[in-house]
């Protein structure tokens, strides 16, 4: 009987999937807002909604009792995709039911909760008993780093080092997992720094002291003082302009961008329209910016065509390469442990963003569930970089020279997440040609350790990094950013095609050439066939709609144009790499699953790699002509150099999603050229 039920359920599920694909295979978004008076179903939770979640959850646990409740993730429980697409396809003034996904800690247990905001009730509440813990909150980290400053043994340790505790600043570091008995406590390690003489505290670590804090009990549970080494000097570490001395570098002239008629884009709630693009922008405490429903207007078809249903950075894996007792645990998952949104910096006009930028705020739930405002979390601006959109000079026609060119202008959405010492500059850039570029810039301060060495000639042991200055080693490390890209190329039913570039031999007596290359296309049928380590073989990677063709017969598609291929160098059975196994491949493709949004799993802190993108794909599900999600991993191997000291010039990497037979021809051929500027006659006499 159970087998019969299982077969029936599987058959019903297949039929439902086919029906949904047929319904939404040609989904397009109207250029006119179809939800006037109604809330967009993908809007982030508002301050009012965050407060409502706080009230409902706290009330359910009897606030008059001794229950201790903390909020570790509060975000939109997004509606099922077919529901959203159906709602958007028909003008409506009725808001879809709003629900919130909530991770709390109640009496030292993790609860996963779904709150129905429309009905004001909890519809799901389950204690999580698996491995790992939810996002660390800012408030508990602040409380943890205050503990050493009043802790007797630490004060004694500071005195032994001739350090004034009033200049000590501490920071929290997640402990990871390294085999053996699983931890049953939410703990972090605390490392302290000495900021006397500089604000650049990360370059002055206090070494030899080990501190472990239990976050639930908020007390120091382990303490050790094993060795003493001098703190690196403060001289030359302060990055503030007011602290710099001559000689100075060149002066950078500012560029004023004059837009007399205001910005060239329109913001309606969280929906942004610019040139031929329309998309939705949301803020999330864990991943930061989420781009949704990105569609581009096709003047030949007189309609907006879907490209990206939902896109965001899913996880950032940062393993350091120092295996010593003091540093081996530094293998961070910045989204799942600390939160990009929670650590969003308020952007500074004219510094972080140009003069023509428009700013948007973000909101998330604090440790107690109350709303926290991040002022200027996003900036949106048109980029006039002096680049060329397209051009050609024709010299082949006798007695004629023809030149046509169009300047490149794009729209940028930016956020900066500052997690401890590193600043992550997150850009999404939209181009009139149909391209979407994603880029992350890394700046800020290196992770360093103290040493007795002052010159590389003195080094007679492995130091796991680069000597940057007196007594200062910049540690080797990696950054692996995983993007989740739910592409809907002209509809939800898509396929992943590897267009392999294959060398072929020329047959005898056909040509004096001996070889050429050609394209041999291969459509991935299952998840295993879509796993790719870039750089092993030349190929173009394209998401196509196999149900839509151009007039010449090519499938509508978008191509992933990656940056430099970077692969992990850790052993596959090393514990950090088990947790970060999603970095093994640069490309993964999965069938759409609403619950599979975080590559490192729901509960990353102290996880054991049991719930990751690498684990999900072991099911080897069907991905041909399905609603699929593209995951792209880009990375850096960072071996520090002296130019990164005392603050790093921005190091950037990214990728591009570019139309591939999506349009019938160049979509920006008929872009209107700019009006000519009348310059004054510089040769005229005064």
Please identify every residue annotated as catalytic.
334, 422
Number of H helices, E strands in the chain: 7, 32
Distance, in Å, from the CA atom of 344 to the CA atom of 374, rounded to the nearest integer, reads 7
394 beta partners: 402
Q: Which helix (H) or strand (E) holds 635?
A: strand 626-638
147's tokens: 């503990």
Peptide bond into 251 cis (omega under 30): no
- Supply 285's token pair: 């405490």
Q: Which residues pair with 403 in a beta bridge?
A: 393
Q: Give phi and psi for 169, each to the nearest 5.
A: -125, 135
> What are the start-end ranges of the E strands in 195-335?
209-214, 219-225, 265-268, 271-274, 277-284, 288-298, 303-319, 331-333
Residue whose token pair is 């009987």 = 1
Measured between alpha carbons, how far is 590 from 528 in angstroms, rounded to an integer? 9
CB 435 within 8 A of CB 457: no
Crossing angle of helices 2-24 and 81-89, rounded to 10°: 30
Extract the runs of DSSP E, i.e. beta strands, from 167-302: 168-174, 187-194, 209-214, 219-225, 265-268, 271-274, 277-284, 288-298
Rg (CA), the chain: 27
User: Which of 281, 424, 263, 285 minimizes the C-alpha distance to 352?
Assistant: 424
Which tokens is 254 given? 């500012």
- Nearest partner of 432 among 459, 458, 449, 409, judged by Cα: 409
Task: Burial-class residue 477 by CB neighbours within 10 Å (0-12, 13-18, 19+).
Answer: buried
């Amino acid at each position: 009987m159970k087998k019969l039920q299982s077969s029936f359920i599987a058959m019903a599920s297949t039929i439902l999937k086919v029906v949904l694909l047929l319904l939404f295979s040609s989904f397009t978004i109207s250029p006119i807002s179809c939800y006037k008076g109604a809330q967009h179903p993908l809007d982030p939770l508002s301050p009012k909604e965050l407060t409502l979640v706080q009230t409902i959850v706290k009330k359910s646990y009897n606030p008059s009792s001794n229950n201790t409740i903390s909020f570790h993730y509060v975000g939109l429980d997004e509606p099922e995709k077919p529901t959203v697409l159906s709602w958007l396809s028909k003008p409506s003034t009725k808001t879809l039911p709003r629900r919130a996904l909530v991770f709390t800690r109640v009496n030292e247990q993790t609860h996963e909760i779904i709150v129905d905001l429309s009905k004001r009730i909890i519809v799901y509440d389950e204690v999580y008993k698996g491995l790992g813990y939810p996002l660390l909150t800012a408030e508990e980290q602040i409380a943890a780093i205050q503990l050493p400053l009043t802790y007797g043994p630490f004060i004694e340790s500071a005195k032994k080092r001739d350090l004034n505790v009033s200049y000590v600043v501490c920071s929290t570091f997640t402990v990871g997992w390294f085999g053996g008995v699983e931890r049953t406590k939410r703990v972090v390690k605390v490392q302290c720094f000495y900021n006397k003489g500089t604000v650049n505290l990360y370059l002055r670590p206090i070494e030899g002291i080990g501190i472990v804090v239990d976050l639930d009990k908020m007390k120091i549970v382990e303490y050790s003082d094993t060795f003493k080494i001098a703190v690196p000097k403060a001289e030359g570490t302060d990055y503030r302009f007011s602290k710099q001395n001559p000689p100075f570098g060149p002066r950078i002239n500012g560029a004023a961008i004059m837009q007399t008629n205001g910005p060239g884009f329109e913001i309606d709630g969280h929906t942004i329209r610019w040139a031929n693009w329309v998309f939705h922008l949301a803020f999330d405490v864990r991943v930061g910016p989420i781009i949704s429903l990105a569609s581009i207007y096709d003047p030949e078809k007189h309609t907006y065509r879907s490209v990206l249903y939902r896109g965001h950075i899913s996880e950032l894996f940062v393993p350091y390469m120092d295996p010593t007792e003091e540093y081996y645990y530094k293998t961070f998952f910045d989204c799942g442990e600390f939160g990009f949104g929670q650590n969003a910096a308020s952007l500074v006009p004219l510094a972080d963003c140009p003069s023509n930028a428009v700013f948007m705020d973000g909101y998330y739930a604090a440790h107690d569930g109350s709303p926290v405002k991040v002022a200027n979390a996003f900036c949106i601006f048109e980029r006039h970089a002096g680049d060329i959109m397209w051009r050609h000079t024709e010299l082949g026609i006798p007695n004629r020279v023809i030149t046509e060119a169009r300047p490149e202008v794009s729209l940028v959405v930016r956020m900066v997440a500052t997690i401890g010492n590193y600043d992550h500059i997150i850009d999404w850039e939209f181009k009139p040609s149909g391209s979407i570029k994603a880029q992350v810039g890394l700046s800020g301060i290196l992770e360093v350790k103290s040493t007795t060495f002052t010159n590389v000639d003195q080094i007679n042991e492995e130091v796991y990094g680069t000597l940057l200055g007196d007594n200062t080693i910049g540690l080797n490390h990696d950054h692996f950013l995983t993007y989740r890209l739910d592409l809907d190329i002209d509809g939800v039913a898509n396929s992943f095609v590897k267009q392999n570039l294959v060398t072929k031999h020329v047959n005898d007596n056909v040509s004096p050439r001996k070889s050429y290359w050609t394209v041999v296309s291969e459509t991935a049928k299952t998840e295993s066939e879509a796993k790719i380590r870039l750089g092993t073989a030349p190929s173009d990677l394209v998401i196509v709609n196999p149900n839509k063709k151009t007039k010449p017969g090519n499938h509508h598609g978008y191509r992933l144009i990656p940056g430099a291929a970077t692969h992990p160098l850790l052993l596959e059975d090393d514990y950090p790499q088990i947790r970060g196994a999603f970095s093994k491949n640069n490309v993964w493709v999965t069938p759409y699953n609403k619950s599979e949004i975080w590559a490192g799993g729901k509960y990353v802190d102290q996880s054991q790699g049991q719930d990751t993108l690498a684990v999900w794909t072991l099911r080897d599900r069907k991905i041909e002509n399905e609603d699929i999600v593209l995951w792209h991993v880009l990375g850096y191997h960072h071996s520090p150099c002296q130019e990164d000291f005392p603050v790093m010039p921005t190091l950037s990497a990214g990728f591009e999603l570019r139309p591939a037979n999506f349009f019938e021809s160049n979509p920006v051929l008929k872009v209107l050229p700019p009006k000519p500027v009348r310059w004054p006659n510089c040769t005229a006499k005064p």
